[in-house]
Amino acid sequence: MRLLSSKPRICIIGGGFAGLNAAKQFKASDYEVTLIDPKPYVEWLPNIHEIISGVKSGNELRLDRRRVVARLGHRFEQAKVVDINAAAVTLENGNQVPFDACIVSTGGVINHFGVAGAAEHALGMKSVADCQRIAKKLKMASLGQKTIRVAVVGGGIEGVEALGEALRTYRNKPQFEFYLVDNHRKMLSGCAGNLDAQIKKRVRPFNVGFELGHAVSQVHKEGVLLDNGKLLNSDVTIWSAGLAPNPLLHSAKLSDSPRHWCEVNDAFQSHHYENVFVIGDAAQTPQPLLKQAFHAIDMGRFAGQNVARFLSGQRLRRFRPSPKPQVVTFGDLDTFMVFDGFSVSSSVLGAAKEAVYNLGLLQLSPPDNPQDFVRSVGWLQKSIRKVYLPAANPLSLVSRLPEMRLLR
């Protein structure tokens, strides 16, 4: 039994954007916090698609999770959680971590939608390692002269950004052919401004085809079969069709089925346990939110503050998401800043996403020694060389400004 004088125990499951920003809300002097995650690295997922083109490497998108957590004064447990109840989480090795309050931020997993062969023959892109595999396969294919067909399955943000990065590096290599497949009739159908038409305009000079309005029924080693019976030959199939809930949510009885996210109230409390809060991609909020990093960061901060209120017997606050523009890059061909009701298109805007990346990493792990400082300066220099200077080049700006468009 916990002594009355001891610090409240908080367990955070998942050390991504949501989990880490929740952990930041707790002073180590006031709380005993344990963050659990099976992976050793924090990965800056909004930019992992840039690995495909070589603009980013794996190292500059990863931070040592144990070190990030230790700098907050908390404990990191590299382990897989297999069960959660109202008092403790159970790890894969059988050990239990007791808590007074728990924050679940497990994120999602690749959703293959039950498509036969997708898991075996398509390459997902949910991690640095996933995108490194894609980059390696494309690079190896580019060394030969035979025709290489690349199929991207998914016309949402992830799929569009993947296609853009592949085109950045390989669009002028004559042996490459590209396809994008989606069951919606338009790419980025959830974004304002008919971005579908703008993307198609950008790729007209290149060998790019679209199969929209058709779902994938099977994936083979040699290609993709659509629901209309059409077979698309593919040497490299990139699967970016969406997320599915982490299986832990259902196995721990936090969701009603394996296909459902965890329903929470507007304070992020689970409907099953009042001392379990669920945030980030794992949460199904009363007001549906895009499963994007900027929401996860806000949810983490807010949930951390609500957990502190819960443990001190205070009234919980209701989360109200703040409106933020969303930046979607299409390689070096275009960038879209998406607002509620309209979008702005210009390749110059790519610098905005790079700035978020630079600032985000510094906030997660500010340099506290010479080695860290040198590493951070190196990353910034690379951003300046590859993104900021090309965007700010006067000749480039003059040529690109007429291309800036307001899309409604």
Q: Are 337 and 352 in contact (CB under 8 A)?
A: yes
Q: Are residues 249 and 105 in the same domain?
A: yes
Query: What is the rounded CA–CA span in Å between residue 336 and residue 164?
Result: 12
Report the 10 Å Cβ neighbour count for 14.
29
Q: Which of 150-159, 223-232, 332-341 has the lowest mean pLDDT?
A: 332-341
Residue 26 vs residues 69, 74, 304, 338, 375: alpha-carbon distances, Å: 12, 9, 7, 33, 28
Q: Express as a percent the part of the chain with pLDDT over 90.
A: 78
Of 264 and 380, which is predicted with more confidence? 264
Task: Give kind and range of the element (H or E) at residue 354.
Answer: helix 350-364
Residue 400 confidence class, pLDDT cut points 50, 70, 90? low
Residue 367 vs residues 106, 150, 236, 374: alpha-carbon distances, Å: 27, 40, 39, 9
pLDDT at 350: 83
Query: What is the rounded CA–CA span in Å between residue 175 and residue 207?
Result: 9
Does residue 119 fall inside a structural domain? no
Query: What is the rounded CA–CA span in Å between residue 330 and residue 239?
Result: 17
Instruction: Residue 101: give the domain boundaries.
Output: 9-38+79-109+243-312
Does residue 352 fall inside a structural domain? yes
Average pLDDT over residues 98-121: 98
Q: Are residues 272 and 284 in the same domain?
A: yes
Does residue 293 fall inside a structural domain? yes
Q: Are residues 152 and 217 in the same domain?
A: yes
pLDDT at 384: 66
Average pLDDT over residues 146-166: 98
Q: Are 202 and 257 in contact (CB under 8 A)?
A: no
pLDDT at 373: 73
Does residue 379 fall inside a structural domain? yes
Report the 10 Å Cβ neighbour count for 90.
15
User: Coil, strand or helix: which one is 306?
Assistant: helix
Q: Are residues 34 and 90 in the same domain?
A: yes
CA-nearest of 139, 140, 146 to 169 is 139
Structure token digits, residue 140: 């190896």
Q: Are residues 105 and 247 in the same domain?
A: yes
Does residue 137 fall inside a structural domain? yes
Q: Are residues 249 and 199 in the same domain?
A: no
Structure token digits, residue 320: 């109200």
Q: Are residues 280 and 232 in the same domain?
A: no
pLDDT at 394: 54
pLDDT at 377 over 80: no
- Specify the amino acid at residue 20: L
Structure token digits, residue 341: 């009701």
Q: What's the pLDDT tens digit per position in 53-104?
A: 999 988 999 999 999 999 999 999 999 999 999 999 999 999 999 999 999 9
Q: Which of 221, 239, 257 is the endpoint of a domain? A: 239
Average pLDDT over residues 135-154: 95
pLDDT at 249 over 80: yes
Q: Are residues 103 and 252 in the same domain?
A: yes
pLDDT at 388: 59
pLDDT at 114 over 90: yes
pLDDT at 408 over 70: yes
Q: Are 333 and 203 in contact (CB under 8 A)?
A: yes
- Specify the amino acid at residue 148: I
CA-nearest of 141, 128, 180 to 157 is 180
Query: How remote is the C-alpha of 246 from its chain's centroid?
Result: 14
Query: What is the rounded CA–CA span in Å between residue 161 and residue 203?
Result: 13
- Specify the amino acid at residue 66: R
Q: What's the pLDDT tens digit per position in 172-215?
A: 999 999 999 999 999 999 998 899 999 999 999 999 999 999 99
Residue 243 vs residues 32, 41, 173, 281, 282: alpha-carbon distances, Å: 32, 20, 32, 9, 10
Q: Are 101 and 277 in contact (CB under 8 A)?
A: yes
Q: Are 152 and 179 in contact (CB under 8 A)?
A: yes
CATH label of the domain that carries residue 296: 3.50.50.60
Q: Are 355 and 347 in contact (CB under 8 A)?
A: no
Does residue 72 fall inside a structural domain? no
Q: Are 326 and 292 in contact (CB under 8 A)?
A: yes
The number of domains in the chain is 3
Q: Are residues 358 and 343 in the same domain?
A: yes
pLDDT at 398: 47
pLDDT at 402: 47
Q: What is the mean pLDDT of the chain?
A: 92
Structure token digits, residue 8: 């409240």
Q: Which of 239, 257, 274 is the endpoint of a domain? A: 239
Does residue 275 fall inside a structural domain? yes
Residues facing 331 on adjacent strands: none
User: Coil, strand or helix: which one is 32?
Assistant: strand
Q: Which of 239, 261, 290 is the endpoint of a domain? A: 239
pLDDT at 404 over 90: no
Does residue 43 fall inside a structural domain? no
Q: Express as a percent the part of the chain with pLDDT over 70.
A: 92
Q: Are residues 216 and 270 in the same domain?
A: no
Q: Are residues 145 and 228 in the same domain?
A: yes
Collect all residues with Cβ–Cβ distance below 8 Å to 75 and sequence separation of at least 6. Answer: 32, 33, 34, 35, 69
Average pLDDT over residues 125-151: 96
Collect all residues with Cβ–Cβ distance below 8 Å to 398 and sequence separation of at least 6. Answer: none
Q: Are residues 225 and 256 in the same domain?
A: no
